[in-house]
Amino acid sequence: MTAHEVTLEQIEDADKVLVGVAQHTPIDHASLLTELLGVPTSMKLENLQRTGSFKIRGATYRLSRLTDEERARGVVAASAGNHAQGVAFAAQQMGMAATILMPLGAPVPKLLATKGYGATVITDGATVEECLALAAEHAKRTGAVMIHPFDHPDVIAGQGTIGLEILQDVPDVETVVVPVGGGGLISGVAVALKEVARRTGRHIRVVGVQAAATAAYPPSLAAGHPVTVERGGTIADGIAVVRPGEHTFPLVRDLVDEVVTVDEDHLARAVLTLLERTKLVVEPAGAAAVAALMEGLIAPSGPTVALISGGNIDPLLLQRIVAHGLVASGRYMTLRIPLPDRPGQLARVSEILAGVGANVIEVLHTRHDMGLTLNDVVLQVSVETRGPNHQDQVLDALRGASFDPEVASA
């Protein structure tokens, strides 16, 4: 192993600094993954971290290392989400002024949370990249210290404290799977795990997971240097970073065993499974490691820990993911049923649905649908069902009574 600019000693120092600010988050046994993979698997719950993500670790350690003169000038950061809250919270804890540039249209809960931690929030710019440029200008103009979301040795050392906690709580760990955006989190974790493993003569595998839509590491690792990729649309906004950092890239290249990618459906399925089965709220980026394990993209090997990096999901997005998941698994179906316009038709349909045990959730009864004769009405009805077979039963029952249902979503 070559010498790196982040060492185990720095991470141990960060661990001391974080006491009383960041929490030692719990490890939760993952029954579902354990069964699926055939190796004892657990999850490190950084979604239960203060501010809802691991970001306060790096931010706090970075801020703690500023000189008194720098502290007096305050800090500035650009972020649409977790880094904003991490920096705002850390600055508040240390009594420093923080200015956060957030893009226009950033999710309301994240805006409110960042303001709630006492930061001055400026919403400007269409993308995080534009915000970064604006933040750099702000730093130049005011003298505030720019806090990069991942590409700084102190930030990396702060995130590395998670590696120490994993070793403490799962001493026999052999594989750790980590979501990857810019690479700050996995770099720090890998330094901690690999160095402890080296000193104790064992092997710990570190695997990174990116969202396929914006995955800069696979091509960068292939090229041997950071490569900029195009930003693709992904629900995993927290890890949609178009280029590895100058500090993080060498660490990932040298210390991470493998980086795999997951697609949008994998992420959505993981979020829903974590919500329904594991009772955890996890943002799509935070669920990347679990998604990769669920989809069988990582060969199981020894006791495994999946890092859940954050839980800050916009409730409106969560609603959409749950709805999508219910539809996809045959547990919710919307039907459009043309009805002859005479009394009693709605009652008849309701009876048929009740007869086959489909719970009616929503009904929309409209007239004058395009393409229908003047007197016809269309009934749009959403029902809760027990799965695809049950949906077929529902359709058969309606057809058997001479209705002609069309599945509007299933």
Interaction site with a second copy (CB under 8 A): 23, 26-29, 31, 45, 47-48, 50, 52, 104-105, 108-109, 111-112, 275-282, 311, 315-316, 318-319, 322-323, 325-326, 331-332, 357, 359, 361, 366-368, 384-387
In the complex with a second copy, the residue whose CB is nearer, 104 or 407, is 104
Instruction: Give me the least distance between CB of 23 and a second copy, in Å please.
Output: 5
The minimum distance between CB 242 and a second copy, in angstroms, equals: 25
Q: Write the DSSP assignment of 46-100 as a string of letters.
A: GGGSGGGBTHHHHHHHHHHTS-HHHHHH-EEEE-SSHHHHHHHHHHHHHT--EEE
Neighbours of 305 (CB within 10 A): 28
Catalytic residue among 79, 220, 309, 382: 309
Nearest distance from residue 319's CB to a second copy, in Å?
6
Decide whether 196 or 318 has the Cβ nearer to a second copy: 318
Neighbouring CB atoms inside 10 A of 86's CB total 34
Q: How far is the CB of 230 from a second copy (least distance, A)?
A: 25
* Nearer to a second copy (CB atom), residue 74 or residue 238: 238
Q: Which of 18, 139 has the CB closer to a second copy?
A: 18
Q: Whole-angstrom Cα distance, residue 84 to residue 90? A: 10
Q: Give the Cα separation of 36 and 34 in Å (integer).
A: 6
CB of 322 to a second copy, least distance (A): 5
Task: List Cα–Cα distances, 324 to 269, 272, 407, in angstroms.
Answer: 9, 9, 15
CB-nearer residue toward a second copy: 66 or 288: 288
DSSP 117: T
Please tell me the distance from the alpha carbon of residue 45 to that of residue 26, in angstroms, as a whole number: 6
Distance CA 39, CA 21 (A): 33
d(CA 249, CA 233) in angstroms, rounded, equals 23
Is 64 known to be catalytic? no
39 by DSSP, 3-state: which? Answer: coil
Four-point Cα dihedral 69, 74, 78, 84, nearest 10: 120
- The catalytic position among 42, 44, 53, 55 is 55
| CB nearer a second copy, residue 13 or residue 283 | 283
Beta bridge partners of 308: 45
Q: How far is the CB of 91 from a second copy (least distance, A)?
A: 17
Do 246 and 148 meet the contact criterion of CB atoms below 8 Å apart? no
Q: Is 55 a catalytic residue?
A: yes
Active site residues: 55, 309
